[in-house]
A and B are shown apart, each in its own frame.
Chain A
Amino acid sequence: MLNAKPDLMPESAPSLRSHVSVSGHEMRPLAAGALYWEAKDTLLVADLHLEKGAAYAALGMLLPPYDTRTTLERLAKAIHAVDPSRVVALGDSFHRAESARHLDAGDLDFLLKLQRGREWYWICGNHDPHLPALIGGTVCATLTICGLTLRHEPSPAPSAREIAGHLHPVARIARRGAVIRRRCFATDGNRLVMPAFGAYAGGLNVLDEAFGPLFLRHRLEAWMMGRAQVYPVLGSLLLPD
């Protein structure tokens, strides 16, 4: 049976939760894959992997060179939606550190325009341990706001109070014979790992052992990205790849 439209949606469906709590701070996950911290008027994104297409081209896979533009346009949309006074990119913003220098003039211009009128932080990641000044913003290793640490790689401490990227979490569920695999925000209430934002960024299942030590398993939630909404799904419903 193919459903063209929800057949089973009750009129009085309880509305979805719109905020996730990270160590006591309320944040709003956006369907684009960014996290908006309203109290601090700060927008977080992770793993943009700009210029990944070009990096693959250098290896002989001539992927469409539009990934940087796609990612930046998506980012612009998220920024325009909430107009934050601060943007923090949680590392691996560029697929290779040297990519930042090769950025197409139009793309660079687009990026610098996005930064106008707000603070902009580049947290370093393993793909971009150093970044040139020409891309604007402030480059740093980690950033702590109100006791909450923003970093690229999650720290080894179990259930730390932090927001990180690096792992590209995706979640899988199966319903009525259909399988849905989406990027997601993964959290246990203390720590949150952001989904990758880049157009060509792949994903790793949140049940993979790499995530194991990071979360209290019984409190794990995956906020799966839909087309216009983010859907919180309990860890017990998730499937491995």
Chain B
Amino acid sequence: MRTSEKLKLAPAPSPGLPEPFAGWFKARGWRPHSHQLELLEHASAGRDALLIAPTGGGKTLAGFLPSLVDLAQRPAKRKPERAIHTLYVSPLKALAVDIARNLAAPVEEMDLPIRLETRTGDTPQARRARQRIAPPDILLTTPEQIALMLSHKGAAELFGSLKFVILDELHALATSKRGDLLALDLARLRAHAPGLAAIGLSATVARPYELAAFLVPHRGRATTRLAEIVTAAEGARADISILKSDAELPWAGHSARYALPEIYEAIKSHRMSLVFVNTRSQAEMLFHELWRYNDDNLPIALHHGSLDVAQRRKVEAAMVQGKLRAVICTSTLDLGIDWGDVDLVINVGAPKGASRLAQRIGRANHRLDEPSKALLVPANRFEVIECQAALEAAAEGAQDTPPMRPGALDVLAQHVLGTACAAPFDPDQLYREVTSAAPYQGLLREGFDQVVQFVATGGYALANYERYAKLKRTPEGHWRVAHPRVAQQYRLNVGTIVEAPMVRVRLARRKGGALKPSSVLAPGRLLGEVEEYFIEQLTPGDSFVFAGEVLRFEALRETDAIVTRAHATEPKVPAYEGGKFPLSTYLAERVRNLLAARGAWPRLPDQVSDWLRLQAEYSVVPSPEEVLIETFPRGSRHYLVCYPFEGRIAHQSLGMLLTRRLERAGASPLGFVANEYALAIWGLNDMGEMVRSGRLDLAQLFDEDMLGDDLDAWLAESSLMKRSFRVCAIISGLIERRHPGQEKTGRQMTVSSDLIYDVLRQHEPNHILLKAAFADAATGLIDVGRLGNFLKRINGRIRHIALRQVSPLAVPVMLEIGRESVPGEASEVLLRETVEELIAEALSGHAQRQT
């Protein structure tokens, strides 16, 4: 749909297109792409189809053609239709709005009798209600809105003659909880309109057949059918290079400060650059630093998810108008929206995944036959290797999108309740419907019945909530909602996006003159929002970077963090992790291979290959299959460093579990630190000596059985597990969402999910919600899934080297020591420390008085 895409089409006859489309294409001198015609043919015949096309492939127009053609050929009726013809689903509200705008042009130009509207969370209530009674032909919306519409009594009529469902950016949706919800919605829509054709639009992915399976209805696990797969021609290969700098490459850290002059030069020599970073704190930091460099006053802007919406819209508008030279952004600009004439993508930090890199690069230059241009800026030595691996993966067109996983049970619980809200359901029929959705194909009847029980009465072994049941059985064995209030509660809690509690950041206005104390600071301009936990760790007076400025935290007022402009140039930026991606398994493997292949080292900058050579001389460079463990003394401590290359999250979990085991083995571990590539543990006893003397068996230490009891004991108190549980409790409807205006009373009115977790874990450890929370955490916050694969992979392949001092490879992770903050798990120690410090203070005060 993007103008730039269409301009590339060569003039030629268009045999496959009916009028008025053929004429419309011709009048513009365009010819449809073969994948557009192919998709039209499949969908018009009622076949589900998946289109895989790179950015700039005319993907969206292809997706809408079947629907537009069908609507154009519809016989004219006197009365307007009472049903939706086509649903378009996008992961982003903004994308739905953007597409609606682009689609309006051809509809108007061909004078097609088609009504199209959008419906998102921002659509006024009155208009949403009207859309249910007098729906448009084409509705552009989000998965949550479909779930809402399906929960109303009129759903059967509204969707009864639905012909097409277009799922845009399917690769971004499918492997998430929103994807699970979408899959269930699609199954429900099919129950209302069995003949509908689903059309999936996706960027290039690692396993297209998984997305193709997502689009079609299945009959349980029996067989897996696939939608027709249409693949557009690849665009020109991207022109990717790694930034070269004369400065010394940092050993650790993520700021890429050393490369600022080169980044600035690159921005200067291009029309419009997108600068991607991996976290919001990096975005803030880089923006701040670039402006210190910006002698030419180039219009450089900042864009990330925590900024105030108004501020983001302003930046987006300026981009489209070509008023900016660069935008520093996070993944908020990853998805398909067309932001204008970008001719360079700069990726600061390691790209973390081959597909992520490909999609980011796709942001530059929406012309299929011209290469997109990208510059990778590694922030430290390890990232140089990772960038090289990603670059080589991109050259091969390799992809590493995350694999499908079984559908989440908390999402299913929400869907079951929503289904009952529309009309009583027959459990046998709903089970067949649910297992027709690809993510739930493998769901056993037992599991499904447990979910229904959970929705009805909480599903506890101690069955004493019958009288409070949300769902009740009708005489014929169907389930109905017990009370209209249940449906109201459902509608307030629909959706799978559970935001971390947020705090608004407001710049203080001073009420009186400059002489008044800071207690009269009044809340002023809104700068944006940050997660509550970030603000919680600040004490008044701390400075941090946000919205491109160095701010001083003054006070917390209800849900507002009051800040003032700090005059410090060096902020005390604490780690602000918002949006950090783990290194993909695929890229990790490539990094291990690159590291082990001496012949490949000359492709790396001299500083890096020298570093690896030193490592080979002093210790060893591990082969791709093995894991290297180094032990060495330093100061009064003994260190154990291992290099799993499995990402920081999995390493942290490994650290938690290993320290428990080392404690039992008598190594007296004191702490650990993890980065993306390695894990360092330190303790009082010489672990190298313990291995030599046979008191410590590394094979046993790294045995898979650590994922049994040790994991269990850790999870009992892990704050990460509690965070996962909270999300599942909200999605499944066990506890209610906090809505705006409720925050102040939130703490007293709702029961804290942490308390519920403790009680449930103690009394019913196999409860379905704990299973759901564990499944989430295992792939997310604690990543034990990946840890398990690692332990399996290295079984019998541990290589231990005892050293007299730190090895070159260990330096980066050793430098992280002291940078990272202590998370909640060590709180007992901190409590004790606080008190002891006080006692010491009190005692010394006492001593002074005595003298």
User: By the criterion CB–CB under 8 Å, are B460 and A4 in contact?
Assistant: no
Question: Interface centre among B468, B556, B736, by most A CB within 10 Å?
Answer: B468
**Nearest-CB distance from B461 to chain A (Å)?**
10
Bound-state Cα–Cα, A7 to B659, Å: 13
6 A-B residue pairs with Cβ-Cβ distance under 8 Å, sorted by A, are A1-B673, A2-B673, A4-B669, A6-B829, A179-B824, A202-B750
Bound-state Cα–Cα, A78 to B819, Å: 41
Contacts of A6 in B (CB 8 A): 829, 832-833
A9 within 8 A of B: yes
Contacts of B756 in A (CB 8 A): 63-64, 200
Q: What are the 4 A-B residue pairs with the smallest beta carbon separation, nearest first?
A: A177-B821, A62-B458, A4-B659, A66-B763
**Nearest-CB distance from A17 to chain B (Å)?**
9
A64's partner among B656, B660, B760 (CB-CB below 8 A) is B760
Interface string of A39-80 (1 = CB under 8 A from B): 000000000000010101110111111110110000000000
A234's partner among B539, B655, B826, B838 (CB-CB below 8 A) is B838
State the B residues within 8 Å of A (CB). 457-458, 460, 462, 464-465, 468, 470, 483, 485-486, 489, 533, 536-539, 556, 574-575, 652, 655-656, 659-660, 663, 668-673, 734-736, 747-748, 750-752, 755-756, 758-760, 762-764, 767, 817-836, 838-840, 843
User: By the criterion CB–CB under 8 Å, are B470 and A60 in contact?
Assistant: yes
**Nearest-CB distance from A4 to chain B (Å)?**
3
Bound-state Cα–Cα, A176 to B671, Å: 15
Closest to B748 in A: A202
User: By the criterion CB–CB under 8 Å, are B832 and A9 in contact?
Assistant: yes
A14's partner among B537, B655, B836 (CB-CB below 8 A) is B836
**Nearest-CB distance from B664 to chain A (Å)?**
12
Contacts of B817 in A (CB 8 A): 1
User: By the criterion CB–CB under 8 Å, are A178 and B823 in contact?
Assistant: yes
**Nearest-CB distance from A42 to chain B (Å)?**
27
User: By the criterion CB–CB under 8 Å, are B818 and A5 in contact?
Assistant: no
**Nearest-CB distance from B766 to chain A (Å)?**
13
Bound-state Cα–Cα, A3 to B832, Å: 14
User: By the criterion CB–CB under 8 Å, are B458 and A65 in contact?
Assistant: yes
The stretch from A85-93, A119-127, A144-152, A225-233 touching chain B is A225-233
Bound-state Cα–Cα, A104 to B834, Å: 43
A1-B818, A67-B759 known; 19 new pairs, CB 8 Å cut-off, are A3-B822, A4-B663, A5-B670, A5-B829, A7-B671, A16-B835, A60-B468, A62-B465, A65-B462, A70-B758, A104-B464, A174-B538, A175-B822, A178-B822, A178-B830, A180-B830, A202-B751, A231-B831, A237-B838
User: By the criterion CB–CB under 8 Å, are A52 and B747 in contact?
Assistant: no
Bound-state Cα–Cα, A2 to B826, Å: 7
Residues of A110-161 contacting chain B, CB below 8 A? none
Bound-state Cα–Cα, A182 to B832, Å: 13
A1 touching B831 in the complex, CB below 8 Å, given contacts A14-B839, A57-B468, A66-B763:
no
B829's partner among A9, A65, A67 (CB-CB below 8 A) is A9
Bound-state Cα–Cα, A64 to B725, Å: 13
Bound-state Cα–Cα, A224 to B673, Å: 28
Contacts of B485 in A (CB 8 A): 60
Bound-state Cα–Cα, A74 to B347, Å: 54
A8 within 8 A of B: yes
**Nearest-CB distance from A107 to chain B (Å)?**
11
B834's partner among A5, A54, A65, A231 (CB-CB below 8 A) is A231
Bound-state Cα–Cα, A5 to B833, Å: 12
Contacts of A60 in B (CB 8 A): 468, 470, 483, 485-486, 489
User: By the criterion CB–CB under 8 Å, are B834 and A1 in contact?
Assistant: no
User: By the criterion CB–CB under 8 Å, are B574 and A232 in contact?
Assistant: no
B536's partner among A16, A67, A174, A227 (CB-CB below 8 A) is A174
User: By the criterion CB–CB under 8 Å, are A224 and B537 in contact?
Assistant: no
A66 touching B834 in the complex, CB below 8 Å, given contacts A1-B673, A2-B820, A52-B751:
no
Bound-state Cα–Cα, A60 to B834, Å: 42
A69 touching B763 in the complex, CB below 8 Å, given contacts A60-B468, A64-B458, A178-B830:
yes
User: By the criterion CB–CB under 8 Å, are B556 and A1 in contact?
Assistant: no
A2 touching B672 in the complex, CB below 8 Å, given contacts A65-B465, A178-B827, A239-B539:
yes
Contacts of B767 in A (CB 8 A): 64
Contacts of A233 in B (CB 8 A): 831, 834-835, 838
B824's partner among A61, A178, A199, A232 (CB-CB below 8 A) is A178
Bound-state Cα–Cα, A175 to B839, Å: 16
Bound-state Cα–Cα, A45 to B294, Å: 63
Contacts of A178 in B (CB 8 A): 537, 821-824, 826-827, 830
Contacts of B755 in A (CB 8 A): 199-202
User: By the criterion CB–CB under 8 Å, are A70 and B763 in contact?
Assistant: yes
Interface string of A199-233 (1 = CB under 8 A from B): 11111100000000000000000001011000111
Bound-state Cα–Cα, A239 to B659, Å: 31
User: By the criterion CB–CB under 8 Å, are A237 and B764 in contact?
Assistant: no
A97 within 8 A of B: no
User: By the criterion CB–CB under 8 Å, are B758 and A180 in contact?
Assistant: no
Contacts of B835 in A (CB 8 A): 16, 231-233
Bound-state Cα–Cα, A6 to B762, Å: 27
User: By the criterion CB–CB under 8 Å, are B670 and A57 in contact?
Assistant: no
**Nearest-CB distance from B154 to chain A (Å)?**
24
User: By the criterion CB–CB under 8 Å, are B829 and A70 in contact?
Assistant: no
**Nearest-CB distance from A127 to chain B (Å)?**
13
